[in-house]
Amino acid sequence: MSEPALSDSEYLSRQSVFLGQLPEGSLVLMPTNPVAYRSNDTTFPFRANSYILYLCGWSDPEAVLMAHRDGAEWITTLFVQPRDTKAEIWEGRRVGIEGTVSGWPVDQAHSLEDIAESVTSRLNACTSVYCISGLNPELDELISRVDGAELADPTPILDDMRVLKSKGEIRLMQESADIASASHIAAMQATFSGIGEWQIQSTIEAHFIACKSRWSYPSIVGGGDNATILHYNSNDNKISDGELVLVDAGCEISGYASDVTRTWPVNGKFSDQQREIYELVLKAELAGIKACQAGSLWSSMHHATSRVLAQGLIDLGVLDCSLEDALGDDFNGPFRNYFMHGSGHMLGLDVHDVGGGRQGDDKPERRFEPGMVLTVEPGLYFGSWRTDVEIPERYAGIGVRIEDNVLITTDGPVVLTSSCPKTIDEIEALVGNDG
């Protein structure tokens, strides 16, 4: 059975901050994610909604967190699956109502079987309902029957709260980062010419499971030209001698994610052309990490990586123009033909975590603050299959991305994934060396 990942005091503090921002007459209804069926009675692995994880740590399926006012006080209630011996024989032990009250940071617990009666009475007495719609059809139906109550979205308030991580959250994210880093090392050591992408994936994900974690997103293992496809995840091709493999794989602990990318030669030796691109991307990544200073604008990190990449592409003869022209207006110049994504994103209970910062995000730009965790992940991609841009023959089939997880502190950036090697010498010493 599950248990909260953090202290009761931390969850209660979050609830207090969140509920303190709601107007009088508000009711909060926070459902977890629905169980998704793969086929017949076979389900996909369940993963709780990040907002219910954030507010109370509840990770089991079929639950709703409710908060209502009783005079000046907020009362929190979890509706959960009741104990049911027959169901538990088939599906596993349940926490139940009594276990929820004694083990979770809520005031009350009730059976999901009673939710219609309990919620309806609260809905009739409220003026606004803060609920995430579309997750629980029964809840949505109950809310739709109520006249006069305004439906409001709680996520903007919670998204702002989730931006800065606590010491407890950072501890979990460091654990996740350590596991992911070790999995990449194990994959490098197990790599050989002719290996299947799926074999590298199995090494990575076996390490996740062995460490009692789970992947935080489907692993990307792309060899050769497949490394130039940003969200490639077929992972079903063999990787030939002389090719690079790009591995983007992370895990999560109690919902808190890591997100790591490394690129290495399957035969253990970078060619001159691969080395040129790899060293350029690594230089850009280090510049991006250095730019992650408290008080600086988020864009300063993307601009730092972009300047290095654009100048490098000019120096290598890929671009024939000035740095100003290569960068273009708003850093969308021709260097973007080979670096198509943003330089990083927030990281936390979601891999692409809430709070803004992603490339193309229309939210107001944030400044780095101590407690933020983000990725820094520049890359260069020269797909030989592309016809939309000119691909230099000497770099055709090369895709390189290097990604680390970075904590913002008052003393500068701290790389949570620093135990994962990324210099050429370190990588060449590891690949194929599983002894």
**184 catalytic residue (yes or no):** no
362 is catalytic: no
Q: Which two tokens stand for residue 285?
A: 């990544």
Query: Two tokens at 152?
Result: 């409001």
Active-site pick, 377, 395, 404, 428: 377
> Which residue of the set 11, 256, 338, 381 is catalytic?
381
Select which of 178, 262, 345, 404 is catalytic.
345
Specify whether 259 is catalytic. yes
Choice among 248, 252, 285, 404 that is catalytic: 248
d(CA 259, CA 373): 11
**Residue 404 a catalytic site member:** no
Q: Which of 41, 73, 329, 390 is catalytic?
A: 41
Q: Residues 175, 225, 285, 403: which is the catalytic one?
A: 403
Three-class DSSP category at 30: strand
Known active-site residue 197:
no
Active site annotation includes 141: no
41 is catalytic: yes
Catalytic residue among 169, 175, 243, 259: 259
| Active-site residue, selected from the candidate residues 83, 303, 336, 352 | 352
Is 403 a known active-site residue?
Answer: yes
Active site annotation includes 231: yes
* Catalytic positions, written as ranges: 41, 231, 248, 259, 341, 345, 352, 377, 381, 401, 403
